[in-house]
């Protein structure tokens, strides 16, 4: 069998099938984004605002690297939950792919198909 061909599910280990299944469910129909969320607190500068008395305004930012350069984007509060979930989905997908990679590493080491 050529390494370029698809491996039939019946030839995969139970663990590999489960990892692939979870990864497929995670990636189909859900957002994923590679980035980091940070919360910033700041003073707006209005003298009579609550932030002048110590209750700072909190804003959420998504930090990403594009073309080797870091960038930040303000995340409106109405988008905060969705963007948080997308970042979590990315990290979970990355973890699943690392686990699949380890399984395939073992297959190569043991010379298994």
Q: What is the pLDDT of residue 1?
A: 43
The arrangement of strands across the sheet holding 69-75 comes to: 36-42, 57-66, 69-75
Residue 71: inside a domain: yes
pLDDT per position as a tens digit, 68-94: 999 999 999 999 999 999 999 999 999
Residue 63: inside a domain: yes
Residue 47: inside a domain: yes
| DSSP string covering 28-81 | SSS-----EEEEEEE----TTSGGGGT--EEEEEEEEEETTEEEEEEE-GGGHH
Residue 1: inside a domain: no
pLDDT per position as a tens digit, 20-56: 999 998 888 779 999 999 999 999 888 889 998 889 9
* Percent of the chain whose pLDDT exceeds 90: 56
pLDDT per position as a tens digit, 89-105: 999 999 999 999 998 89
- C-alpha separations of 57 from 26, 36, 40, 53, 60 in Å: 34, 20, 8, 11, 10
Residue 105 domain boundaries: 9-110
What's this model's pTM, rounded to 2 decimal places?
Answer: 0.75
Residue 48: inside a domain: yes
Query: Is 8's pLDDT higher than 80?
Result: no
Q: Tell me how many domains the chain contains.
A: 1
Residue 69: inside a domain: yes
Read off the tokens for 100. Answer: 């699949």
Residue 4: inside a domain: no
Angstrom distance (rounded) from CA 81 to CA 30? 13
Residue 91: inside a domain: yes
Taking the alpha carbons of 26, 38, 44, 50 in that order, is the dihedral positive or negative? Answer: positive
């Amino acid at each position: 069998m050529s390494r370029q061909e698809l491996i039939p599910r019946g030839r995969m280990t139970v663990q590999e099938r489960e990892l692939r299944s979870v990864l497929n469910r995670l990636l189909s129909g859900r957002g994923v984004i590679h980035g980091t969320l940070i919360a910033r607190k700041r003073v707006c500068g209005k003298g009579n605002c609550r932030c002048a008395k110590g209750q700072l305004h909190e804003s959420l930012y998504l930090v990403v690297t594009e073309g080797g350069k870091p960038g930040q984007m303000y995340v409106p509060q109405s988008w905060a939950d969705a963007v948080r979930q997308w970042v979590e989905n990315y990290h979970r997908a990355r973890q699943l792919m690392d686990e699949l990679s380890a399984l395939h590493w073992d297959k190569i080491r043991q010379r298994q198909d």
